[in-house]
Structures are given as structure tokens and as C-alpha cells.
Amino acid sequence: MNLNTIIEKFEINGEILKTEIYGSGHINTTYRVTTTEDEYILQKVNTAVFKNMEQLIENVAGVTAYLASAIEACGGNPRRETLQVIHTRDGQNYLKGEDDFSYRMYYFITDASCYDTVEKPEHFYESAVAFGRFQALLAAYPAETLHETIPNFHHTAKRFDTFCKVVEQDTLGRVASAREEIAFVMEHGTDMPVLTDMLEHGELPLRVTHNDTKLNNIMIDNQTGKGICILDLDTVMPGLSVHDFGDSIRFGANTASEDETDLSKVSLDLELYEIYVKGFLEGCQGILTENELKMLPMGAKMMTLECGMRFLTDYLEGDTYFKIHREGHNLDRARCQFALVADMERKWSEMEAIVQKYSPTKKI
């Protein structure tokens, strides 16, 4: 089955003019499809990574359809402000190809760009507004109906249990080279269950979460500079708003790269942190509970700690999950994350004060 045959099985408008590889994704293969009437994104999904395509696309289709209705009700433009799933001609959300891959299609969003790093503070602010608005628009969506496509993805306490077992087994004899980092994780053992315990006790609400809230998953309008659409919904699941907030801070407010070896360069940029808090809370439009507001700094700390712990676990197990480009790469990554956690702890009162400053309730 050639590519044009696959494309024509979707409900596209017009005749196919051009198909070209698009983007730089490492998991799926993405094509930009131009027809005589419209433009589309076609993705060849790597089903070796995404094994349960039915559940994944059911989550995406449900959330995007809901977003489209909510955006339209607010007077917005669903074609530019959310991904929209293009159905196959027999009414399915995706196509299972004869090559054992699955294919899905969205409308292409024109005159907008993505950025891999914070080139302008305004972009970080716009990403914050967009992810906050994502929470606001989906506040009434029944998150419990979504499939947990990656079980326990941000269940930090369970990841900590796995980490402890890996340390105890020391299969590759690498524990001796990471004793300081292991000790750092162990010292934070009591932090690990805080957020998940609050969820289980009903102190934090279950929400629709994106779970990959990096800057490069936001499309910025080329003309207005506004964040208009959230991309990469493959990890949309039920979860905690503070996790989505925290992962953005971990990724975007670090003064160094994720694998920086000179730890003196690693710190939390409080100006970027404040920019993100301001934008995120504006986008949320007052839907966060008092406990969610209070736990935003903890979300930033725990996402950074969890990420570092995952890097360290992978290092101890032989670098089988995260791709590495040098010896000890995952250990370097873990050290960088832990240095950022330590700096957050030094700046904890400032982090809390910034949330207080922009909180709509002022009751934290």
C-alpha cells in the first residue's frame, strides 16, 4: 500500500498535490500533505512504542472533540486552536495499514511555529497560558473515562520503589559510582508519595493532563506571537494539574541544558518561573483548587526529582530506556536534575511567594 493510497482512505478535501516528510520526531514518521483544497498532517505511528493504539487514539479523539466544542463556544477557531482528528472514509479514528503500522491524520495548522528552547520569555509565557487554558477548557471533562495508556506514569512513590530494588540488586555493579546521587534520592524518600497520597485522599482532583508539557509542544502564531494550539496528545491521561505545571518548569526554567556537566550552571531561573506561573494561572481562569495552587511548587520539585530518579535508574540498569550519546550520560542527566531540585529547595519561599502573588484566591 503506497502513501497516496493510505492518504486517500481518509476524508480529505481535494486532490493530492504533494506529500513531504515534516518535523524531526524520533518515534513517529510525520508527513505534510497538500491537496488542491487543504493541508493535513499524516502520522505513521510507531506501534512498537504505542502498543495500544485503540486506547491512545480514543483518548485523543475524545479530548480533541471536546476541545473543539469548547473553543467554538468561546468564539474561538477550532481549526487553529486544537488538533482535529480526520476520520477514515469508513468512519474510524485511524487506519491500520497492511505494513503493521497505524496511521492517523489531523488538519495542518498554517502560519505557526514550534520552538525547542526558550528563545524569548514571551514564548514561555504563551506556552503557560496555553497549557493553563487546556486545563480550563477540559475542567468538566470526565478524566476518569480516559485510558491510562502508560500505567503509573507519574506515580512517583512506585517509581521510588522500583529505584530501591534496582539499587539493592546492583546488577551491573554501578552503584559504587553513583553513591552520592543515590543518597540524594533516599534523602527525599518521604517526598515521593506526597502528591499521589493527596490524590488518593481526595485532596487533589483528578484532571485531564497532557504529561509532556514542553515548550515545543505549543504552536505559536507567527503573526500575533500567541500560543494557539497544543500538540502531541499521545500521553493525554488522567492525572494531576501540578504534574503538568511542574514538568514545564523542569524543562523551561532551568538555566542549563538537561545534561549539563558543570553543575554550577544549573539553577532555577526565578524570572522564568514567575513568567510561567503568571501565564499558567491566567490560562487556568480560576479553576484550580486551593490545594492545587499550594502544591504548584511541589509539582515542580517532584517532576524534577522523578525525572532525575528515572535517569539514575536507567544508568544503574545499563542505559536501556533513554538514548545516551556518551559514557555516563544518564548519570550526568540525573546529577543535573538533582542540582535543580536542590536549588528549588533553596528558593522555596520565593517559589511559594510567586504563586501567592498570582493566585486568584490569595489563600495559600
Judged by phi (left if over 0) then psi (alpha if -120 to 50, else beta), residue 148 lies in: beta
Could you tell me the fold of the domain covering 121-358?
Answer: Aminoglycoside 3'-phosphotransferase; Chain: A, domain 2 (3.90.1200)
Q: Which of the two residues, 29 and 274, has the higher pLDDT score?
A: 274
What was the pLDDT predicted at 142?
97
| Mean pLDDT (whole number) for 319-343 | 95
What was the pLDDT predicted at 247?
95
What was the pLDDT predicted at 318?
95
Residue 259 backbone dihedrals phi, psi, to 5 degrees: -120, 25
Q: Does an H or E element contain 341, and which?
A: helix 329-346
All structural domains of the chain with their residue ranges: 3-110, 121-358
- Name the band, by pLDDT with cuts 50, 70 and 90, for residue 52: confident
pLDDT one-digit tens code per residue, 199-247: 999 999 999 999 999 888 999 999 999 999 999 898 999 999 999 999 9
- Name the band, by pLDDT with cuts 50, 70 and 90, for residue 25: low
What was the pLDDT predicted at 24?
66
Q: Which of the two residues, 46 and 173, has the higher pLDDT score?
A: 173
Percent of the chain exceeding pLDDT 90 equals 84
pLDDT one-digit tens code per residue, 302-311: 999 999 999 9
- Name the band, by pLDDT with cuts 50, 70 and 90, for residue 120: confident
What was the pLDDT predicted at 326?
95
pLDDT over 60 (residue 364): no
Q: Does the structural domain 3-110 have CATH classification 3.90.1150.10? A: no
pLDDT one-digit tens code per residue, 125-167: 999 999 999 999 999 999 999 999 888 889 999 999 999 999 9
Residues 61-78 as b/e (b if ≥16 CB within 10 A, e otherwise) read bbbbebbbebbeeeebeb
| Mean pLDDT (whole number) for 264-293 | 97
Calculate the alpha carbon distances from 201 to 156, 193, 294 in Å: 16, 12, 16
